[in-house]
Each structure stands twice: as structure tokens, then as C-alpha cells.
Chains A and B, each alone.
Chain A
């Protein structure tokens, strides 16, 4: 009693089997995808960011730029030394600061401060910045990334927690446009 329009018992079971497997696979895929995107989902709410202390205001003489280090707000047991990060702190005057990310705005290499010439220089591809972080020369398309800072009870704190990258300066890491030289 089989014709072209009817479906055999075995054929139906096979199709049901495929459907059943598909449903189960989708159900399992949801938590897997969620797991894989965990770091992305969390980053969307800026919940990685937090305020971390850099040190007392007195450690940073007025008019000078000093290297400071801080510990990333999120630490995992396997992170080792990688959660310690350096940054350049420029005390303009009084409680007015500029805190620059160590990462060059070109491709993230560590920039070095040269007080004699008043320039930050990058060892990788030759980017250079003025003392206020604005672009001086080389491949970077913008100035250095700046951390938002607060001075509370004589303590300099910055909002940090994410690697600053040129395509994604997080909401907190808005750099300035280069000033007209």
C-alpha cells in the first residue's frame, strides 16, 4: 500500500530521529555558545572596570611624569604576573593629572617616557607622543589612551580593567584628539 505521497513507517521514524537529534543538539548548543561568549557578554556591560589606587599624590612631583603600576581589578588564580600593569602618571599641577596607558595607540607596545625631550617613544614601530599624550609622529592615528582618574584623600585612583586597543577604547578610555602642533 505504498505510493509516492505516503511515507513509510521507517522513513517517518528516521525523520523523527533527525528532528529529535536536532532539538537535543540545539538545547546543548545554547549553553556551549553562552560559555564561549562569556568574556564578550561580560565586557558589554563594562563590568570589568573598577577603580584601582596608584599611590599617594605626593609620589608624583608636579610637572613630572612617573611610571606607576597597578593590579587589574579582576584576578584569576592562573594569571601570575600578567595582572600587574604599568601606566604613566603625569601630574600637571595640584590635583590635575593625566594617566596614560602604557600601550601605544598604534599596536599596543609599551611606550617609554623621555623627560629630556618631553616625548613618549614606542620601540616597536616608532610612534612618538608629546608630554600631554597627543600624537607627535609615527604610525599611531591618535594620542595615548588615558585612564579616568580621581584624587580622593590624597590617593590617586584610576578606572581600569581592560586592555586599551585602538579600535575599542572602552567608554572609560576616551583619548584626546591630537592638539594642533
Chain B
């Protein structure tokens, strides 16, 4: 025992770190901050450390070459002992990290922790969020599979839309004229050296400021932040109603961090690693690439925005969002901290959560994409063919053969790009159906050049049968006037 303390003293005489470390761990924090709401920052740090460790382990096997990356990931999954588990830890760690960073940010926002004097801590936090997202995207690229390849194409298409420097930005991003070996190498450098280096530096600054300025006290409704008096009030609070960080508050951080690590390990064990999906071979075009879950909302947004809005939204939207986040502590650096008296803050969070949640949910079944195999895979349900004439059945064949089904559902099967046609005859008259088929419009291609008159007649005859038994098909009142109702009725009875 004496030997250990002697060795300790020998080191401390040279390093002189014992006193500052003791001071740091025992610094007084307001008692009410020892709360389960205050554990997300330390959890994010824990996951970050897990990512560094597992990342280094993966780099020992991974080959950052477009020719071999995919094969080296297969080797990790199947040949290297527990390689699949390390990959799964790293993949699930990244999902958890994005989620925890976002939750941490929401908590900081709702607790008013970004207000004076912690403005810079918040701003650095915004940069940490951006870097975390940068890690998530570049990490997806390193999983060099079909999704990664086409995801890069999407990234390049977005970058190319920047005015003036767009084309140069694309070549800078890809490291050449196409997505190839140089692209992967450069994303490897970003993912492994550049962004992690910056992350470590910014995390240290972030932590240093938390220590220097003290953890945000539990917000009390009515206790307003004033620049002139805040520092003295906070000092008074930690003196009167404070407790040393270790052990008073730290145990909750430790429990939560351990719980998160356990959750990541459990997901990794149970669900396994992410991909890689198909080989990154651009000549295989039977693929529908999708981003990882934290960018799914963006994928949905890009499908749903009107074409003319897209470029401005893509290029200006992120700039405004980052600008607002950085300006936030300067716009409301003082005043009320408690979420109980900040209804707009609460509503903003709810609105953002609902929007992101809805877009992510939509991306799960992509109603905007044609179902490429519906025309050959989903037959017309029997009930739509009962009691039909030969012409109408011929129309049903045209309906399938011309791939209308890829975009239009019948009996809940088929694409959702266009409206379901189960009762289209009640919405459009015969003339309107013909016009819509031939000329398209409202986001439907025109089929005039692709359908013979006979095919159009048959198709519309089939579409005219698509109405509930109890509801008559739509009819053009003006036509009744001109041609006479009687004549139309006679035609109906002939059918």
C-alpha cells in the first residue's frame, strides 16, 4: 500500500495533476441538477468513446479501396471472429449517438441552458451536432455498398445545384469526375481523421465550458436570467444548495451511460450489423437506394417538395436552420428558463418532432415511388372482374400491361404514386377519363403515344366499371342535355 502511494506521489510530483483533478470532480453543482434529465451529455460522450474504440478496431481490417472495401466488410461479417459484432456495435452506436445528441439538445433547449453565460457552449454544441451528422453520412459511405454508391450520387446531385461553384464542388467531393476509388479514400480521410479530430477538440472545449461555467441549474418558473446578476446568483446557489459532483450527481450519469452501452450491445447482438447490401457495381441498376434512418426524413422531403421549391429549400434551408440555431442564445439570452413559461419553445419542439417523425414514417413505405413490380406481381382482384364484358376485361389487361398499376392501387395493392382507382368512375366521367389517360396531367404522364385507340377504349371501359355497386358512375350533365338522357340510359341498359 505504501509503495502504491509512493509511486503515486512520484508521478504527481512530476505531473501535478492530482489537485486540479480533485477540484474538478468535487466541484459543487446545484443539488437539483442531480437529475435523470441531466444524463444525456455524458451518455453522448460515452457513446463517442465507444465509437472511437470500435472504429479503431474496424480500421484494423477494413480496406478503404473501392475495389476491396465491400469484400473486406464481408470478411469482417463472416471470416473474422466477432467481426460482425464490432461492426454491429459501431453501426448501432452511430444510431444511438445521433439520437442521444438530439435528445441532449432538446433537453438543453427546453431547460433554457443555452442562455447567458452558456451561449458559446450551445454554439459549440451546434457544431458538434453537425459533425455527428457528418460522421453518420461519411460512415454510411464507408459501408461501400449499393446504398452508399447511389447515396453519393444523391449528395453530388445536391452539391451540383449550388450556383456557380456547384460543378467544382462535385469534383472536390468525389475526388474526380465520377464516384470511384478516390471518392471512398477521401471519405475515409474525413471519417477517420478530419471529423473525429475536430470532434475531440470541440468536445474538450464543450466540457471545459461546462466545468468553468457550471452545470445549468434546474429552471424555476419565474426565476429570470439577468446578465448583471446571474453569475453571483449561480455562485450563491451552489454555495447554499450545492453538492460535490462526485459522488452526489455522477452516479446517475454512470448508470445511464452503462444502460445505453448495454442497449447498444443488445441491439448489436440481436439485430446484427448493417449491411453491406449489394455490391457497389453501377451496372446493377435493379436497386432502390435508401439512406440510413437519420436521413430518411430528408429522403421523404426531397420526394414531396414541389420541383421548383427543391433547389432553394436544399441550399437555403440548412443555412437558415444553422443560422437560427447559432443566433438562438443571442436572441433570447436572458429571461425565463423554465419550459413551463415558454410555450412557443415547447410547441416548436413538438412541431419539429412531428414533422421529422411523419417524414420518417412516410419514407418507410414511399408512397411517391412507383411499385416497379406491381404490374406483373399484383393481379387485378377478382371482384373487379365479376360480371364484366369482354371489352372491359380487355381493358383490365391493358391496365396491367401498360403498368398503370405501378402507380395506381386496386384493392389496396399496387403503387401509391397516383390515386387508388377503386372508385375512379365516381370521380371522373368517361370523357374525363379518356382525356386523363391520353394527355396525362397532375403529375401523370401522357399515354397518348403509347396506347392505340382500341386500347384506350378498352381501358376506359374497364375504368368505367370501377365504382361501388350502390353508387352510379359520374356522368356529364351537359352531355345529357345535348345528347339526351334517354340515349345514354339506353346505352347503359345495353351494357
Please report the C-alpha to C-alpha distance between residue A165 and residue B445 in the assembled complex, in whole angstroms. Answer: 23
Expressed in whole angstroms, the minimum distance between the Cβ of B288 and any Cβ of chain A is 4
Main secondary structure of the interface of A (DSSP, over half): loop
Please report the C-alpha to C-alpha distance between residue A139 and residue B150 in the assembled complex, in whole angstroms. Answer: 17
Closest to B68 in A: A80
Expressed in whole angstroms, the minimum distance between the Cβ of B313 and any Cβ of chain A is 12
Pairwise interchain contact B372-A139, C-beta atoms closer than 8 A: no
Pairwise interchain contact B368-A126, C-beta atoms closer than 8 A: yes
Expressed in whole angstroms, the minimum distance between the Cβ of A35 and any Cβ of chain B is 11
Please report the C-alpha to C-alpha distance between residue A67 and residue B286 in the assembled complex, in whole angstroms. Answer: 12
Pairwise interchain contact A85-B178, C-beta atoms closer than 8 A: yes
Q: Does A79 contact B (CB under 8 A)?
A: yes
Please report the C-alpha to C-alpha distance between residue A106 and residue B446 in the assembled complex, in whole angstroms. Answer: 20
Q: A36-52 vs B: 1/0 string, CB under 8 Å?
A: 11011011100010000
Residues from 79 to 106 in A contacting B, C-beta threshold 8 Å: 79-86, 102-103, 106
Q: Does A12 contact B (CB under 8 A)?
A: no
Pairwise interchain contact A168-B372, C-beta atoms closer than 8 A: no
Q: Does B287 contact A (CB under 8 A)?
A: yes
User: Given A108-B153, A114-B403, A168-B160, do A43 and B177 touch, yes or no (CB 8 Å)?
Assistant: yes
Q: B161 — which chain A residues lie within 8 A by C-beta?
A: 166-167
Q: Does B440 contact A (CB under 8 A)?
A: yes
Pairwise interchain contact B443-A137, C-beta atoms closer than 8 A: yes
Q: B179 — which chain A residues lie within 8 A by C-beta?
A: 82, 163
Q: Does B66 contact A (CB under 8 A)?
A: yes
Q: Does A181 contact B (CB under 8 A)?
A: yes
Query: Contacting B280 at CB < 8 Å: which of A69, A82, A109, A166?
Result: A82
Q: A141 — which chain B residues lie within 8 A by C-beta?
A: 307-308, 310
Count how many chain A residues have C-beta atoms less than 8 Å from C-beta atoms of the other chain.
60
Query: Contacting A79 at CB < 8 Å: which of B66, B171, B369?
Result: B66
Interface contact tally, CB-CB below 8 A: 214
Expressed in whole angstroms, the minimum distance between the Cβ of B372 and any Cβ of chain A is 6
Pairwise interchain contact B154-A107, C-beta atoms closer than 8 A: yes
Q: A39 — which chain B residues lie within 8 A by C-beta?
A: 171-172, 174-177, 182
Q: Does B370 contact A (CB under 8 A)?
A: yes
Please report the C-alpha to C-alpha distance between residue A78 and residue B157 in the assembled complex, in whole angstroms. Answer: 23
B residues with a Cβ closer than 8 A to A are 65-68, 149-150, 153-154, 156-162, 166-168, 170-172, 174-182, 184-185, 279-283, 285-289, 299, 302-303, 305, 307-308, 310, 368-370, 372, 375, 401-404, 406, 417, 439-441, 443-447, 449-450
Given A82-B280, A139-B302, A168-B166, 10 new contacts (CB under 8 A): A67-B285, A80-B67, A82-B179, A83-B178, A109-B154, A117-B406, A165-B167, A167-B166, A168-B167, A181-B446
Identify 28 residue pairs between A and B in the complex whose beta-carbon atoms are under 8 Å apart, listed by A's number.
A39-B176, A40-B172, A43-B167, A77-B181, A78-B67, A78-B180, A78-B181, A80-B65, A81-B66, A82-B149, A83-B180, A86-B283, A102-B285, A109-B150, A109-B154, A109-B288, A116-B401, A118-B449, A124-B154, A125-B299, A125-B303, A128-B370, A128-B445, A130-B445, A139-B305, A163-B156, A163-B170, A165-B156
A residues with a Cβ closer than 8 A to B are 36-37, 39-40, 42-44, 48, 67, 69, 72, 74, 76-86, 102-103, 106-112, 114, 116-119, 121-126, 128, 130, 136-141, 161-163, 165-168, 170, 181
* Across the A-B interface, the 4 shortest Cβ-Cβ residue pairs: A80-B67, A167-B160, A78-B181, A136-B445
